[in-house]
């Protein structure tokens, strides 16, 4: 056998590696390569011109590499490349050139693709006199156990090495016992293994997950990571796998810098999630959300209606350049989701399953019956009713929250098959998710089927589909958690016969039972079809020109029936009440895409042109009816109602777009991306239908420069981008003046009535964000340490502000939307990932990300004035807490009469007199802090030893405060509501923490704010690879794992949870999950 030795082990020019990566990458649409691939006899047809005198062999080889795609692997120890030669060739093939070059030497060469390996005959072992030498052999496979051919195996520190054969086998002789073997393969992580006396060895190579040649989706195509000039963050695989995500946003939370994901309320479905990329660019709440694109189609549905186990990758486009292709919807960033594809090879069956329990931790609890009794007695004894006193004296009462909660459960099963041959690739899956939440009757079920196909119909026509069919089931109304938190504990939930009490508090029949919703008859199903279908046509005559028709249809049908019988409060009042909802929404996309990609020597050019049409409609049909003869027929009896109120709401919006993107690459060193997009949107005002957006970006792969080639960097890349994007921010018809329905009577029958409602604005248009981004991507020490550092600044103009207008104008909402205002965001994002230990059997990786965002209003109405009504202040962030400041409690002996609150008494709340004018009024409100956090961080720690791995993920946010409304009384005038026990002021307890338990103690109603900084241990996963012990059962992979989620939160906030919006809501769910992955 021959020993192949070489000297350049990894730092090869991108293209060569790309060719190999393509085999590994699930899908790859970088069309510029297509032309190259088609030409499979490159080495026979490529002609070379060489005219060099007194040049070294190395220089000649370099020259050949420069004018061709050939690439040479050799070792300077074996091949004398310093030998001076004279070459003069014209239009000769590589074979001729090499024969000439090595004429008279023992250098031999072999080639695969465009890679030439230069070797010399076997070196005699006698030359190296090392004791205790042996022969070692082994097999190299990929992660799924398939043999890998062509893996380079080198004895570390020597020139001794070989390449694996077609069965992945290798054999090396004359190896010292203490030697270390290096295994390397393009696109795979290099491994070092100590022999420790073994004679056979099995090595499993792993894909380089964040390698610089990874191919990632960038919108309307994909690109090599090394070619990207914008700010594109990929979600790490470990956030998508082996984590019990109900929706994909949970996978993103904390894993990439600059994306702030906040779960605003808990529960079985848990899709009440805010996504904010690089800060708030818009004043309008809910219009700061990024555009979500699933398989090339803007996704219009619920986060939780998409099966998470079908997702192959998630990319987040953060800067102006990367997002600019989505023009008027790009300013808040774009999230690209790609579903899994099949790959050629044998059919692979996969089962992913998990089961778990859902529970909850400690949460602030309202007072017990006896505490409440004491509270009420002190506050106003006369309001204690007989039933309350009786319950108290008998030691009765109710812990409403205890009645409202349970231990929930979760299960998620996905079975998939994938594979393919020359003409077809497929991925087909079926999945079932079932979550029983911790609030009684709170449940979510999702069943889905996915069919992804790619078909090569002819050599010029390919087509495919990415389709999900799903059903989400949200039957049943959960208990009313808000009222369970507030419910009077001196009441009873059940009658003696075990049925629910309609009036838990006999003396106050207005109080309803928080468990009342359990009696509602409720059916709530959503059916969804989301399908992307496309055709690719290779056009003739112009090499590299292709046309793609991309279409998308999303059809959602939400069906809801609810009936409240006479056993419920509202049902009793209305003599039965029913609500029927039928909500059909459609999302329809057609895109014509023309692509052109060509290489001209060192120049690579790629053009993408787009003409697209998208239409989204929604029809909501409602029927509310009340007054029924009986409850038996539930929601089927609308026709016999005394009052029937039908309703119909409708919306229709259209976006038309043109886009052109130019990518230019010189020698893999200099990169340029230019993008222009023109969008028309029906929701904009009559005079402002079209907007133009553009961006430019440049990148420099410094590590490909000769002068840095042998330096420590595996990657060193500088990226700069600048551009203008838009935010549609308004919905359909918001520019129109509308009327509100106000029916009246004609005698005793209905007479239609309308009054003016919102005042319209025909000049409304998109918000525009100008963003600059500068970034460095780095990888050091053979990619052991890598990451990204970015700085950005953005300025948003023409902000759509719901401007408060004088009530004198008579607008129903005292508000009108207008393009005014300006916001600045700037920030830093840091990603750093380190392989602390990187051995075959033992790995430790730590990945951290950090983001800081500064948000600042720079202009409001153009007159330099702040907007007190909306609490917007120039120079401050958008969401500030602007309020009176709680200044403690008036104490006995304080000079209250001469204070700013002369009518107060000891024990009453004190407000800080900010301007010191001796009067407490609106002038004393001040900015107490920011309500949006401005620092976000995530930390992932993973450790893998043989088949065991442990992953610990934590995340947090800092810098925000929020009113803790649990620190207020809100007990209503008859003290019918429960509240939290507090450190009330009394003459014997002269605290400043909380005022007295007295009806007038906080009449001016000063709120107490607290920091909502937190650090959360989001999940811990412990997994074990059983598959490694199963040998030849035909099982490719079998892995079991345990995950705990939301196990620990460190915060000073005393409300329900720093992340959740309400303090009287379902507590944060803690889940413990057991999962299994099996593939065969």
Partner 1 sequence: MKTNKNFKSILFAATLVLFFGCSEDELMEAPPHILAPVSLYKTLDGFEAGMNGIYAEWRRERSGSDYGNPNRYMLDPAVVGTDVVYANQSAGWGNSVASKFYNNTSENGDTRNLWSWLYEIINSCNTLIGASKTDAGQALNEEDINRLVAEARLFRAWAYRHLTYNWGDVPLALEVGTNGTALRDDWTRTPVDEVRRQMEQDLLFAEDNLPETRSRPGSLVKGVATHYLAELYLELDPEKAVTKAEELINNGPYSLITSRYGVEANKPGTPFTDMFLDGNSNKSEGNTEAIWVMQNEPLTLGGDFNLMRRWFRGQSHRIDVDGVSGAIIFTVENGGRGLQRNGPTRYAMELYEEGDDRGSRFAWRDYEILNNPEIIPDGWELGDTVFFDWRGKDEELKNPYWPSTKKWDYADPNDVSGTTNYNDQVYLRLGETYLILAEAQLLTNDKEGAANTINVLRRRANANEISASDVDIDFILDERSRELWSEEHRRYSLRRAGKWFERVSQHNKVGGPTATENRDELLPIPQIVIDVNTVEFPQNPGY
41 binding partner 1? (CB under 8 A) = no
Task: Give the chain's largest Cα–Cα span.
Answer: 116
Residue among 381, 632, 706, 922 that touches partner 1 (CB under 8 A): 922
**Contact mark string toward partner 1, 514..553, x via CB under 8 A:** ---------------------x-xxxxx-----x-x----
DSSP class of 290: P
Q: What is the 3-state secondary structure (H, E, C) of 838-905?
A: ECCCEEEEEEEEEEEEEEEEEECCCCCCCECCCCECCCCCCCEEEECCEEEECCCCCCCCCCCCCCCC
Binders of partner 1 among residues 479 to 498 (CB under 8 A) are none
811 binding partner 1? (CB under 8 A) = yes
The residue (of 712 and 755) whose beta carbon lies closer to partner 1 is: 755
Query: How near is the Cβ of 882 to partner 1 at its closest, in Å?
Result: 12
Residue among 476, 760, 772, 990 that touches partner 1 (CB under 8 A): 760
Length of the chain: 1080
The residue (of 303 and 975) whose beta carbon lies closer to partner 1 is: 975
Binders of partner 1 among residues 971 to 990 (CB under 8 A) are 972-973
Query: How near is the Cβ of 695 to partner 1 at its closest, in Å?
Result: 24
The residue (of 91 and 458) whose beta carbon lies closer to partner 1 is: 458
573 binding partner 1? (CB under 8 A) = yes
Query: How near is the Cβ of 816 to partner 1 at its closest, in Å?
Result: 6
Structure tokens at 922: 């609106």
The residue (of 632 and 922) whose beta carbon lies closer to partner 1 is: 922
Q: Using the structure block, give the residue that is written with the tokens 């800060």.
A: 279
As a whole number of angstroms, the distance between CA 489 and CA 401 comes to: 10
662 binding partner 1? (CB under 8 A) = no
Structure tokens at 813: 């909402």
As a whole number of angstroms, the distance between CA 1 and CA 137 comes to: 13
Binders of partner 1 among residues 763 to 782 (CB under 8 A) are 763
680 binding partner 1? (CB under 8 A) = yes
Q: Which of 954, 956, 957 is nearest to 933 (CA)?
A: 957
The residue (of 95 and 390) whose beta carbon lies closer to partner 1 is: 390
864 binding partner 1? (CB under 8 A) = no
The residue (of 645 and 841) whose beta carbon lies closer to partner 1 is: 645
Residue among 147, 506, 772, 990 that touches partner 1 (CB under 8 A): 506
Residue among 682, 914, 926, 1011 that touches partner 1 (CB under 8 A): 682
Count of residues that interact with partner 1, criterion CB under 8 A: 99
Query: How near is the Cβ of 783 to partner 1 at its closest, in Å?
Result: 42
Q: Which of 691, 670, 668 is nearest to 679 (CA)?
A: 691
394 binding partner 1? (CB under 8 A) = no
Binders of partner 1 among residues 455 to 474 (CB under 8 A) are 458, 460-461
The residue (of 93 and 651) whose beta carbon lies closer to partner 1 is: 651
Compute the 3-state secondary structure of the chain and give helix, strand, coil in percent, each to the nearest 5. 15, 45, 40
Asked whether 230 and 322 are in contact (CB, 8 A), the reply is yes
As a whole number of angstroms, the distance between CA 593 and CA 580 comes to: 42
Tell how strand 215-217 and strand 133-141 pair up: unpaired
Contact partners, residue 252, CB within 8 Å, separation at least 6:
235, 239, 259, 261, 275, 314, 316, 335
Structure tokens at 655: 């976006």
Structure tokens at 875: 């120079």
Contact partners, residue 755, CB within 8 Å, separation at least 6:
739, 740, 742, 812
Query: How near is the Cβ of 540 to partner 1 at its closest, in Å?
Result: 4
Residue among 130, 347, 755, 948 that touches partner 1 (CB under 8 A): 755
As a whole number of angstroms, the distance between CA 341 and CA 312 comes to: 8
Residue among 592, 977, 992, 1051 that touches partner 1 (CB under 8 A): 592
As a whole number of angstroms, the distance between CA 85 and CA 52 comes to: 8
Tell how strand 739-741 and strand 754-756 pair up: antiparallel
**Helical H segments across 242-307, by residue range:** 248-252
106 binding partner 1? (CB under 8 A) = no
601 binding partner 1? (CB under 8 A) = no
Binders of partner 1 among residues 721 to 750 (CB under 8 A) are 732-733, 735-740, 742-750
**Contact mark string toward partner 1, 791..810, x via CB under 8 A:** -------------xxxxxxx
914 binding partner 1? (CB under 8 A) = no
365 binding partner 1? (CB under 8 A) = no
Query: How near is the Cβ of 974 to partner 1 at its closest, in Å?
Result: 8
Binders of partner 1 among residues 622 to 651 (CB under 8 A) are 626-627, 642-643, 645, 648-651
Structure tokens at 360: 């909850």
90 burial level (CB within 10 Å; 0-12, 13-18, 19+): exposed
Query: How near is the Cβ of 299 to partner 1 at its closest, in Å?
Result: 21
Query: How near is the Cβ of 533 to partner 1 at its closest, in Å?
Result: 12
As a whole number of angstroms, the distance between CA 360 and CA 442 comes to: 14
Strand partners, 790: 775, 829
Q: What is the 3-state secondary structure (H, E, C) of 380-404?
A: HHHHCCHHHHHHHHCCCCCCHHHHH
As a whole number of angstroms, the distance between CA 42 and CA 468 comes to: 41
Residue among 303, 759, 900, 1060 that touches partner 1 (CB under 8 A): 759
898 binding partner 1? (CB under 8 A) = no
CB atoms within 10 A of CB 311: 19
The residue (of 5 and 297) whose beta carbon lies closer to partner 1 is: 297
Residue among 656, 820, 874, 1026 that touches partner 1 (CB under 8 A): 656
As a whole number of angstroms, the distance between CA 45 and CA 97 comes to: 13
Instruction: Give the C-alpha distances (Å, rounded to integers) separating 146 from 135, 540, 1036.
Output: 24, 38, 9
The residue (of 238 and 761) whose beta carbon lies closer to partner 1 is: 761
**Contact mark string toward partner 1, 1003..1042, x via CB under 8 A:** xx--------------------------------------
The residue (of 590 and 785) whose beta carbon lies closer to partner 1 is: 590
68 binding partner 1? (CB under 8 A) = no
Query: How near is the Cβ of 750 to partner 1 at its closest, in Å?
Result: 4
DSSP class of 494: B
DSSP string, 136-196: EEEEEE-TTS-B-SS-EEEETTSS-EEE--TTSEEEEEEEETT-EEEEE-TTB--EEEE-T
As a whole number of angstroms, the distance between CA 851 and CA 932 comes to: 13
Binders of partner 1 among residues 818 to 837 (CB under 8 A) are 818
Determine the interface stretch with partner 1 among 368-376, 503-511, 887-895, 926-934 (rule: CB under 8 A): 503-511
Determine the interface stretch with partner 1 among 209-217, 268-276, 504-512, 981-989 (rule: CB under 8 A): 504-512
The residue (of 482 and 680) whose beta carbon lies closer to partner 1 is: 680
915 binding partner 1? (CB under 8 A) = no
381 binding partner 1? (CB under 8 A) = no
Strand partners, 700: 670, 718
903 binding partner 1? (CB under 8 A) = yes
Helix H or strand E encompassing 134? strand 133-141
**Contact mark string toward partner 1, 398..417, x via CB under 8 A:** --------------------
Residue among 152, 385, 409, 585 that touches partner 1 (CB under 8 A): 385
Asked whether 171 and 151 are in contact (CB, 8 A), the reply is no
Determine the interface stretch with partner 1 among 307-315, 422-430, 753-761, 955-963 (rule: CB under 8 A): 753-761
Residue among 125, 601, 753, 918 that touches partner 1 (CB under 8 A): 753
């Amino acid at each position: 056998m021959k020993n192949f030795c070489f000297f350049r082990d990894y730092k090869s020019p991108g293209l060569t590696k790309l060719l190999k990566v393509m085999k590994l990458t699930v899908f790859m649409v970088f069309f510029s390569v297509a032309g190259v691939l088609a030409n499979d006899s490159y080495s026979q047809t490529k002609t070379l011109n060489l005219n060099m005198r007194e040049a070294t062999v190395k220089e000649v080889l370099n020259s050949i590499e420069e004018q061709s795609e050939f690439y040479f692997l050799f070792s300077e120890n074996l091949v004398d490349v310093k030998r001076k030669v004279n070459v003069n060739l014209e239009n000769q093939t590589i074979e001729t050139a090499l024969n000439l070059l090595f004429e008279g030497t023992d250098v031999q060469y072999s080639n695969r693709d465009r890679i030439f390996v230069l070797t010399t005959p076997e070196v005699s072992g006698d030359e190296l006199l090392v004791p205790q030498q042996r022969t070692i052999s082994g097999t190299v496979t990929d992660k799924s156990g398939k043999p890998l051919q062509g893996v380079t195996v080198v004895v570390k520190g020597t020139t001794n090495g070989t390449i694996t054969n077609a069965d992945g086998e290798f054999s090396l002789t004359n190896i010292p016992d203490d030697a270390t073997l290096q295994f390397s393969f393009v696109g795979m992580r290099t491994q070092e293994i100590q022999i420790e006396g073994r004679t056979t060895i099995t090595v499993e190579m792993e894909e380089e997950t964040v390698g610089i040649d990874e191919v990632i989706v960038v919108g309307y195509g994909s690109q090599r990571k090394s070619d990207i000039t914008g700010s594109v963050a990929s979600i790490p695989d470990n956030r998508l796998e082996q984590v019990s995500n109900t929706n994909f946003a949970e996978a993103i939370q904390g894993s990439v810098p600059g994306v702030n994901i906040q779960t605003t309320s808990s529960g079985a479905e848990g899709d009440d999630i805010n996504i904010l990329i690089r800060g708030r660019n818009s004043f309008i709440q809910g219009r700061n959300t990024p555009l979500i694109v699933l398989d090339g189609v803007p996704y219009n549905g619920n986060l939780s209606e998409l099966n998470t186990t079908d997702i192959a990758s998630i990319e987040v486009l953060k800067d102006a350049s990367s997002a600019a292709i989505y023009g008027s919807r790009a300013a808040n960033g774009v999230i690209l989701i790609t579903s899994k594809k099949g790959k050629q090879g044998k059919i692979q069956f996969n089962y992913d399953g998990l089961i778990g329990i859902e529970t909850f931790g400690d949460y602030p609890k309202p007072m017990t019956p006896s505490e409440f009794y004491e509270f009420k007695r002190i506050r106003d004894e006369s309001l204690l009713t007989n039933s309350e006193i009786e319950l108290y004296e008998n030691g009765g009462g109710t812990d409403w929250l205890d009645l409202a909660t349970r231990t929930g459960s979760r299960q998620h099963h996905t079975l998939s098959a994938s594979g393919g041959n020359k003409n077809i690739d497929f991925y087909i899956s079926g999945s079932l998710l079932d979550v029983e939440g911790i609030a009684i009757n709170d449940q979510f079920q999702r069943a889905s089927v996915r069919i992804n196909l790619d078909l090569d119909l002819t050599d010029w026509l390919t087509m495919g589909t990415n389709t999900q069919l799903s059903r989400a089931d949200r039957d049943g109304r959960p208990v009313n958690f808000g009222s369970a938190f507030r419910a009077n504990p001196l009441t009873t939930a059940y009658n003696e016969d075990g049925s629910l009490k309609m009036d838990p508090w006999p003396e106050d029949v207005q109080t309803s039972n928080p468990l009342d919703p359990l009696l509602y008859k409720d059916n709530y199903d959503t059916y969804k079809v989301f399908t992307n279908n496309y055709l690719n046509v290779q056009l003739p005559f112009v090499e590299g020109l292709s046309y793609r028709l991309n279409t998308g249809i999303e059809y959602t049908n939400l069906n809801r029936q609810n009936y409240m019988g006479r056993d419920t409060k509202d049902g009793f009042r209305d003599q039965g009440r029913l609500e029927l909802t039928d909500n059909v929404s459609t999302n329809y996309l057609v895109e014509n895409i023309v692509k052109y990609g060509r290489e001209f020597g060192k120049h690579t050019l790629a053009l993408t042109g787009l003409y697209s049409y998208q239409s989204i409609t929604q029809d909501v049909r409602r029927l509310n009816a009340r007054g029924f003869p009986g409850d038996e027929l539930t929601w089927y009896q609308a026709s016999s109602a005394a009052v029937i109120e039908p309703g119909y709401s409708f919306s229709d919006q259209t976006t038309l777009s043109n886009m052109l993107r130019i990518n230019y690459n010189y020698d893999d060193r200099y990169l340029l991306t230019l993008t222009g997009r023109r969008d028309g949107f029906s929701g904009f005002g009559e005079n402002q239908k079209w907007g133009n957006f553009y961006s430019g970006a440049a990148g420099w792969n410094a590590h490909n420069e000769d002068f840095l080639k042998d330096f420590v960097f595996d990657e060193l890349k500088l990226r700069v981008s600048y551009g203008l994007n838009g935010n549609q921010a308004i919905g359909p018809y918001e520019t129109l003046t509308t009327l509100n329905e106000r029916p009246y009577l004609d005698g005793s029958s209905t007479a239609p009535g309308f009054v003016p409602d919102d005042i319209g604005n025909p000049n409304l248009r998109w918000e525009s964000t100008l963003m600059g981004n500068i970034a460095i991507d780095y990888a050091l020490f053979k990619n052991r340490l890598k990451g990204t550092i970015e700085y950005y600044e953005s300025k948003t103009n023409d902000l759509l502000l719901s401007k408060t207008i004088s009530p004198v104008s008579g607008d129903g909402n005292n508000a009108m939307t207008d393009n005014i205002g300006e916001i600045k965001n700037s920030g830093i994002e840091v990603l750093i990932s380190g392989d602390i230990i990187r051995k075959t059997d033992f790995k430790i990786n730590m990945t951290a990300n950090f983001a800081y965002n500064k948000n600042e209003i720079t202009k409001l109405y153009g007159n330099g004035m702040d907007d007190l009504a909306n609490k917007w202040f120039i120079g401050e962030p958008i969401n500030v807490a602007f309020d009176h400041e709680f200044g403690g409690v008036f104490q006995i002996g304080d000079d209250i009469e001469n204070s700013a609150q002369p009518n107060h008494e000891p024990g009453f709340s004190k407000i800080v007199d900010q301007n010191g004018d001796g009067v407490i009024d609106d002038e004393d409100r001040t900015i107490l802090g920011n309500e949006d956090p401005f620092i976000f961080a995530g930390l992932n720690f993973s450790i893998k030893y043989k088949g065991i791995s442990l992953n610990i993920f934590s995340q947090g946010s800092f810098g925000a405060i929020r009113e803790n409304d649990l620190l207020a009384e809100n007990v209503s005038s008859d003290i019918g509501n429960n509240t939290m026990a507090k450190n009330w002021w009394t003459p014997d307890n002269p605290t400043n923490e909380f005022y007295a338990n007295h009806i007038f103690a906080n009449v001016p109603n000063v709120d107490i704010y607290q920091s909502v900084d937190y650090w959360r241990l989001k999940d811990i996963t412990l997994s074990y690879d059983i598959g490694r012990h199963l040998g030849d059962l035909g099982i490719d992979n079998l892995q079991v794992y345990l995950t705990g989620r939301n196990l620990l939160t460190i915060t000073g906030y005393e409300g329900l949870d720093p992340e959740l919006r309400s303090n009287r809501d379902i507590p944060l769910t803690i889940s413990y999950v057991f999962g299994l992955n099996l593939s065969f």
